[in-house]
Amino acid sequence: MGFREYINQIDKEGLLRKVDLEVSKKLEIAGILKETEPTPVMFTNVKESDFRVVGNVFCTKGVIASYFGVTPAELIPMLSKAIDERSEPEIVSNAPCQEIIEPNVDLEKIPILFHCDKDGGNYISSAVVVTRDPDYGQNLDFHRAMQYSKDKFATRIVKGRHFDKFLEKNREVEVAFCIGNTPNILIAGATSVDIGVDELTIANALEPIKVVKAKSVDLIIPAEAEFILEGKVYFEERHSEGPFVDLTETYDTIREEPIFEVKKITHRKDAIWQALLPGALEHKILMGMPREPTIFTKVNATGVKCLDVNISPGGSSWLHAIVQIDKKTEEDGKKAIGGTFAGHTSCKHVFIVDKDIDIYDPLSVEWAMATRFQGDTRMIVKDKEPGSSLDPSAEPGTKMTTKIGFDLTKPLVVKGKSFDIAEFPKVDLNKYF
């Protein structure tokens, strides 16, 4: 299903709220989206643009699971399978995303939102970015882009990203920023797999897609997207980028980042701009969820049976992982901690729990910490390792951090004390009230 079809579907089901009053792309739309999340909202009357804006579309695991027709618990196995069983999308020659080819590039006509008052500019935050390297082929990832002129952005490219490698090697790289995508493409773009894997094949394995050749760059792009911004990113040419509210809901600093020059804009008729609120629920889900299958796989590879993984929103959906295991030996907790850090290298704190703990309930996890954990024997401290550049408390510039694994599982041999929640007698209240 394309993004447009999905929006029409939730509209018919009464799940889409509409704002027909004139609203500004500067702060106002972001404010409304924040107040209304996780409800999807469409803005039909944007002051500065003829295009409509929609946001809060995929804010919860429940919504994403229902998009795919599965339960939230089935998402991790589904993503793992798609990564393993990738498939080539169908190439078409006529694509909705190219229905209109703008004669000139003028970014002012597009409702690129200004989200928070101290932001450095209007930001694209929902774009899935397609790039290509002569040796590795195509890559998909996300890069926020701060607009600073009618045809240019400064785009944030974290060191080590596959696009960063392409750029460092080739010095300038053709790009297509694709906006208005469904969860199969969004999740594929947020997945980190081996360099050389075109994540469009993961998207296609999640749900078949059509792709098309871009108009002015040598790239294959999702045919059903709403907007495509084609152009080039230059390694040497830089512009200040930021401040920007990032995943941790704190302002990220100003850096000199590569310039993205837009050379062609194509879009659907009556195109809808997909807004994605930085640091809010949708951003968190898209960042964290694709790391859960990689943790799941790495923990299982240590020989410990992993039952479920939650990269929890309280940890900004990036810095904390709660991992449920079926503990068989006393070493399992520590092995699982190692597997989790291997599956998500930006993770800072890992919590390993037994199968009786609800990993989606912070109180349940805290209870396990309070009653099953001892700091001297059940904690692994990894002093000064590379962590996440998003963590304000990591060393500025180097992202060095201290990682800690907490084994919150109960001991297999219980010496007198009980570690299980006691059950009260079951009664039929109707008898008494």
Ligand X SMILES: Cc1cc2nc3c(=O)[nH]c(=O)nc-3n(C[C@H](O)[C@H](O)[C@H](O)COP(=O)(O)O)c2cc1C
Contact footprint for ligand X (CB under 6 A):
139, 141-144, 156-158, 161-162, 190-192, 276, 283, 286-287
Shortest CB 101 distance to ligand X, Å? 27
Shortest CB 141 distance to ligand X, Å? 3
Smaller CB separation from ligand X, 141 or 224: 141
Tokens describing residue 308: 């479920």
Known catalytic membership, residue 246: yes
Smaller CB separation from ligand X, 161 or 410: 161
Shortest CB 62 distance to ligand X, Å? 18
Smaller CB separation from ligand X, 98 or 201: 201
Distance CA 276, CA 320 (A): 22
Distance CA 70, CA 427 (A): 35
Shortest CB 284 distance to ligand X, Å? 9
Shortest CB 396 distance to ligand X, Å? 17
Smaller CB separation from ligand X, 163 or 406: 163
CA atoms within a 13 Å half-sphere pointing along the CA-CB vector of 207: 18
Tokens describing residue 357: 């703990």
195 close to 162: Cβ distance less than 8 angstroms? yes
Termini Cα distance of the chain = 51
DSSP assignment of 37-99 equals: TTS-EEES-BTT-SSEEEE-TT-SHHHHHHHHTS-GGGHHHHHHHHHHS--PPEE-SS-GGGS
91 pairs with which residues across the strands?
A: 211
Smaller CB separation from ligand X, 58 or 373: 58
**Active-site residue, selected from the candidate residues 119, 141, 151, 246:** 246
Instruction: Please name the residue that has the structure tokens 């006509």.
Output: 109
Shortest CB 366 distance to ligand X, Å? 28
Residue type, 229: L
Peptide bond into 38 cis (omega under 30): yes
CA angle 167, 87, 175 (to 5 degrees): 25
**What letters, b where the CB count within 10 A reaches 16 and e where it falls short, cover 54-82?**
bbbbbbbbebbbebbeeebeebbebbbeb
Instruction: Give the residue numbers marked as catalytic.
Output: 246
